[in-house]
Amino acid sequence: MAQLWGGRFTKETDALAYAFNASISYDKKLYKQDIAGSKAHAAMLGKQGILTEEETKQILAALDEILEDVSSGKLEITEEHEDIHSFVEAVLIQRLGDAGKKLHTGRSRNDQVALDMRLYIREEAVELDRLLRKLLETLLKIMETHTKTILPGFTHLQKAQPITLSHHMGAYFEMFKRDRQRLFDLYERMNYCPLGSGALAGTTFPLDREYTAKALGFYGPTLNSMDGVSDRDYLIELLSALSMVMMHLSRFSEEIIIWNTNEYQFVEIDDAYSTGSSIMPQKKNPDIAELTRGKTGRVYGALISLLTTMKSLPLAYNKDMQEDKELTFDAVDTAKGCLALFEGMLSSMKFLEENMKKSASRGFTNATDAADYLVNHGVPFRDAHGIIGRIVLYCVEKGIAVEDMSLEELRRFSDCFKEDIFEAVSMEACVNKRLTIGAPAKEAMEAAIKKEKEYLEQNPQIGICV
Ligand code: ARG
C-alpha cells in the first residue's frame, strides 16, 4: 500500500515496523468522528475560497457516502491502511480523484487525531453521564422507599450505630453525584477545537478556526497550536474520573457481596444478575458485583499507563501518544458496561428488611444512645461510657441484647435508668433522634432527598444545565 507520506522514501517500510506503527486495528473506531471533522474542514476550506464550490460539494457528498457505506458494512475498513485518517483520505481519492487530494490542505494528522479523540470523548462523556444519572435515579428510588428500613451502620466492619437503608444509599448518591460533576468539569475544559493546529505550528492557509470549532459544536478553537496537537490532559482527566467511578462501584460491590453472604442475608440478588456453580448446586454467586470490583484494576491501569506515557514527552506531537487509544477505549467500555450492569443488578435486588433490622438490634448498635440517655440524666459522658460498657459485657456473657434486660437488672448498673430507657434505645428512636443535616433520621433524610431531587432536575445531562 502506498503511504500518504511515501514521497520522501526510497524503500518500503519493513513489514514488522509497518504493523508496529499502524493503528488502524483500533482507531477504526473513530471513523464517524474522522469524517465529521473532515466535513467541517472541507466546508471551511470552501468558505475561505481554498477549495472551489464544486470541489467542496463533491468532497462533502463523497464523505457522506463513505460514512454511509462504512456504517452499513458495504465498505470495510481494511488493515492495509495505516490509520483511520489514511483510510478515509484514500477512499476519498479513489472515489473523487484530484478533488479528493485537496482535502488535507492546511491539516495534519496530528490535529486530525487530536480532534477525533476530543469528539469521541465528548460523546462518551455524555453517555457516561446518562448512565450515572440512571444509577442516581435508581438510588433515589431506594432512598425514598426505605427511610424506615433499619440496618446496622459499620465502622471497621463492626456494627456501630443503626442507620437506614435510605441513608446508606444516600452515601452512594453523593459519590456518584460527584462523579457526574467531575465529568461535567472535564467536558467544560476540553470542549475546544484543536483543528487548524496543523502539525504543530498552524498553517499558512487562511483557515477560519472559529468556523470549524462552531460547526463541530465546540466552545471555540484551542489557543496554542503546539498544545492543540499534544494535549492529552483531557484523556487523563477522563481516566481519573472513571477510576473514581470504578472505585465507588467497587466499594458498593464489596458491600453487596458481603450483604449477599449466608451470614448476612441483607439482600437477594435477582437470578438475572447472578450465576451458579458447575459443581455446587446450592450456589448463587454475586458475579456482577465481583466482576465490577475486579475490573476496577483495568481502569486504574489505564490511568497510570497514560500518565506514564505522557511523562517527559517533549513538545509537540510524538508517536508515543498513539498509545492513548486502546487503553482509553477499553476503560470507557469497561466503565460503561459496569455502570449499566450495576444499575440493573441494584434495581432488581431484594432488600431483606427483617434481617437488616435483626442484625442492627443484635449488635449493641444502641450503646451510644444508652450512654446519651445517662448523660441526659446528669451522668458525665465518660462515666456513662463506662457504665454502658459494663452492661454490654454483661449482655455478651448472657447472650442477650440491652433491650432484653429488665429495668431491675439495668438499675443494678445505674439508678438513673427509668422505664423510658426501653423506648430511648429502641432502634427507631436511635435513628430518628439523629436529626442533624445529613443524619439518618427520617425527617433529615427527607430533607436530603428533596435536595438530591432538585439536583437531578437542575442537571439533566452534561452540556445542558437548567
Ligand atoms: N495514528 C496517529 C495517532 O494516533 C495519528 C497521528 C499520526 N501523525 C503522525 N505524524 N504520524 O497518534
Identify the residue whose cell numbers are 462518551: 124
Q: Is the CB of 230 under 6 A from ligand 1?
A: no
Of the ranges 269-283, 388-402, 452-466, which is most confident? Answer: 388-402
Residue 214: exposure state from Cβ atoms within 10 A (0-12, 13-18, ≥19)? middle
Percent of the chain whose predicted confidence (pLDDT) is above 70: 99
Q: What contacts 255, CB < 8 A, 6 or more positions away?
A: none
Q: 126 near 463, Cβ under 8 Å?
A: yes
Q: Which has the higher per-residue pLDDT, 159 or 284?
A: 159
Cell digits of residue 216: 463541530
Region of 162 on the Ramachandran plot (φ > 0 left; ψ -120 to 50 alpha; else beta): beta
Q: How confident is the model at residue 28 (pLDDT cuts 50, 70, 90)?
A: very high
Mean confidence (pLDDT) of the chain? 96
Q: 150 near 356, Cβ under 8 Å?
A: yes
Residue 113 C-alpha to ligand 1 middle, in angstroms? 7
Of 230, 248, 253, 277, the catalytic one is 277
Q: How far, in Å, CA of 138 to CA of 346, rounded?
A: 8
Give yes or no: 156 in active site: yes
Q: Is the pLDDT of residue 466 over 70?
A: no
Q: What is the 3-state secondary structure (H, E, C) of 206-223?
A: CCCHHHHHHHCCCCEECC
Cell digits of residue 156: 471497621
Give me the amino acid identity at 408: E
Q: Is the pLDDT of residue 13 over 90?
A: no
Upstream peptide bond of 316 is cis (omega within 30 degrees of 0): yes
Q: Is the CB of 321 under 6 A from ligand 1?
A: yes
Q: 361 near 425, Cβ under 8 Å?
A: no
Of 72, 156, 278, 312, the catalytic one is 156
Q: How confident is the model at residue 8 (pLDDT cuts 50, 70, 90)?
A: confident
**Per-residue DSSP letter, 138:** H
pLDDT in tens, 146-203: 999 999 999 999 999 999 999 999 999 999 999 999 999 999 999 999 999 999 999 9
Cell digits of residue 420: 423510658
pLDDT of residue 334: 98
Of the ranges 7-21, 160-174, 354-368, which is most confident? Answer: 160-174
Over residues 68-90, the mean pLDDT reads 97
pLDDT in tens, 104-125: 999 999 999 999 999 999 999 9
What's the whole-model pTM score? 0.94
Over residues 424-438, the mean pLDDT reads 96
**Per-residue DSSP letter, 193:** E
pLDDT of residue 464: 58
Q: How confident is the model at residue 363 (pLDDT cuts 50, 70, 90)?
A: confident
Q: Is the pLDDT of residue 465 over 70?
A: no
Residue 103 C-alpha to ligand 1 middle, in angstroms? 17
pLDDT of residue 10: 82
Residue 70: exposure state from Cβ atoms within 10 A (0-12, 13-18, ≥19)? buried
Give yes or no: 85 in active site: no
Q: How far, in Å, CA of 152 to CA of 356, rounded?
A: 7
Q: How far, in Å, CA of 216 to CA of 443, rounded?
A: 48
pLDDT of residue 5: 75
Q: How confident is the model at residue 1 (pLDDT cuts 50, 70, 90)?
A: low
Q: How confident is the model at residue 276 (pLDDT cuts 50, 70, 90)?
A: confident
